Chains A and B, each alone.
Chain A
Amino acid sequence: MSDATATMVGRSLRLSMRNVEALLTSLILPVLLMLLFVYLFGGAIQTGTEYVTYVVPGVLLLCAGFGAASTAVSVSQDLKGGIIDRFRSMDVGGVPILAGHVAASVVRNVTSTALVLAIASLIGFRPSAGPAEWLAAGGVLLLFILAISWLSAAVGVLARSPEAAGGFAFFMVFLPYPSSAFVPVETMPTWIQGFANNQPVTPVIETLRGLLLEGSVGSSLWLALAWCGGITVASVALSGVLFRRRTA
């Protein structure tokens, strides 16, 4: 990591720690949503297991969405304000600037994930996984967080204003709903099933469930890795191109 990148990572971390509202949103909202699903909706949803056990992997992905959404907004704010011209006239390129935001996003997400897991275990989430499965699940989750963070950064570069960036980010937060995150896909109307089965969130959730609860993952692991890798590569490339065009 170059000096400039290290400096920009430090900056983004400091800025996220101090943006109290966004920080609380990304920490507390996932926990509240988990409690909402488990205690309010959970009683009415039949998944064949304890609902808390079913829903936690989904909430973890929801977390990642919330945490990443503010990344799009901060990237967009940087590009709109005067600071981008100063960075550029100091020969600081797009890579350190965006990498700083992505790194801060990953740190925020890992923190909120840990918080959700801690509270989930208090309310009865009892995965059967051993250390190896935990490690693998953590790795997959980290890749997903990385992918969605880079996607957010790309959205931030693409958006014309921080407000627009926030609006785009909403779609990422919404993505876990039409998937197997909260209810089994089979209970959805057929036309949504097609989307739900073939969107990135479903294989990631199935992989997490498989690793944490069942001990077998099947093909969903490879699908999950392919989606995460693909999104990351595409977003890095896209944000690089867009950044150069935006600031040319």
Chain B
Amino acid sequence: MASQMAVEATGLEKSYGAVQVLGGVDLRVERGSVFALLGPNGAGKTTTVRILTTLTRADAGQARVVGFDVARQRRRVRRAISLTGQFVAVDDLQTGEENLRMMGRLSGLSGTQARRRAHQLLDQFDLAEAGRRRVATYSGGMRRRLDLAASLVGDPAVLFLDEPTTGLDLRGRQAMWQVVSGLAGSGVSVFLTTQYLEEADRLADRIAVLDGGRVVAEGTAAQLKEQVAGHRLDLVLADAAAFDQIARFLAERAVLSDPSRLTIGVATDGSAAQVRALLDEVDPTRRAVDRFAVHGATLDDVFLALTGRGAGRPEKETADV
């Protein structure tokens, strides 16, 4: 257990038939930190998680979780981790408490310990009252919370969360964020995947951006935002001539170009000072720009900035491979 790293992967490759899903992924996650793997559908997030949690073997490359090799020391790895996948993994016909006690027994607790741990987790996840009801009666958010509680029963050193908020409504998502933020600092290392920049931003100490099976950027949220800008300034131009002129001026810096709406987007950090400076720079005569709007950058913008193309690609989703 000498390793300081919760997760250490080098050169992970995986193909399914002729389709390469991972093309050499390197990752390092420090112990006790929250790490987000950010990417669109089909980027290889789930495959990466499945390799790190011993469920799938990589074709090439090496990965260690808390110092144990995921291919050669599967059992040691499995005892140190827990996985919450995209599909809720609890039994509908058991109560919340029964599900947690079952997981407790399976992770080696005695009957009494398992009961105590179940009550503790139900309290922690705001499910104390629901604990005696069957899971079939739970809302989507409650299921996810129970699912996460179930993955914590055995006190894992590393917690893998594969798209923990996909399919949740805003309230459910916020509740989940609170729970994950609460875990940070408790000593457990969290490895989560997400399609949402905002989620990675809120939760993670470090973020790696995965695209087409490769890590295209890695750093803290602040570092990434410097690279890709956190916001987009959309300029609605007065006429077609102004559009052409500004488009030529901005050239490669334009992250959005829509002649039909006479709109050009440019990356910004969203601060008033930078927006003012940009407007002055682009339109010193104050005639070309009609209106403007500032948007939070979408994943598409981040990808455009990082890879020179949009995130939405026509490839089949590979979330379940």
Contacts and interface: CB of A to CB of B under 8 A. Distances in A.
A186 interface: no
A88 B57 CA distance: 14
Contacts of A10: 102
Contacts of B151: 86
Contacts of A18: 93-94, 134
A86 B102 contact: no
A81 interface: yes
Contacts of B108: 3
Interface in B202-261: none
Given A3-B105, A82-B87, A86-B151, A91 B93 contact: no
B85 A90 contact: no
B78 A91 contact: yes
B85 A82 contact: yes
A68 B150 CA distance: 30
A26 to B, nearest CB: 16
Contact of B94 (A4, A14, A88): A14
Interface in A1-27: 3-4, 7, 10-11, 14-15, 18-19
A89 B81 contact: yes
Given A3-B105, A7-B105, A86 B94 contact: no
B87 A81 contact: yes
A87 interface: yes
Contacts, number: 69
Interface string B100-140: 00110111100000000000000000000000001000000
A91 B75 contact: yes
Nearest to A90: B106
A7 B102 CA distance: 7
Given A14-B98, A90-B78, A83 B55 contact: no
Contacts of A91: 74-75, 78-79
Given A7-B106, A91-B79, A86 B85 contact: yes
Contacts of B54: 88-89
A89 B74 CA distance: 9
A90 B103 contact: yes
B82 interface: yes
Contacts of A92: 106
A19 B134 CA distance: 12
A90 B127 CA distance: 23
B91 interface: yes
B200 to A, nearest CB: 23
A163 interface: no
A162 B89 CA distance: 17
B154 to A, nearest CB: 7
Interface string A74-110: 0000000111011111111000000000000000000
Interface of A: 3-4, 7, 10-11, 14-15, 18-19, 81-83, 85-92, 247-248
Given A90-B78, A91-B74, 4 more contacts: A10-B102, A18-B134, A83-B89, A88-B54
Interface of B: 53-55, 57, 74-75, 78-79, 81-91, 93-94, 98, 102-103, 105-108, 134, 150-151, 154, 160
Closest 3 pairs between A and B when the two form their complex, measured CB to CB: A82-B87, A82-B89, A86-B89
26 contacts: A7-B102, A11-B91, A11-B102, A15-B91, A18-B94, A19-B93, A81-B87, A81-B89, A82-B87, A82-B89, A83-B89, A85-B53, A85-B83, A85-B89, A86-B84, A86-B85, A86-B103, A86-B150, A86-B151, A87-B106, A89-B78, A90-B82, A90-B103, A90-B106, A90-B154, A91-B79
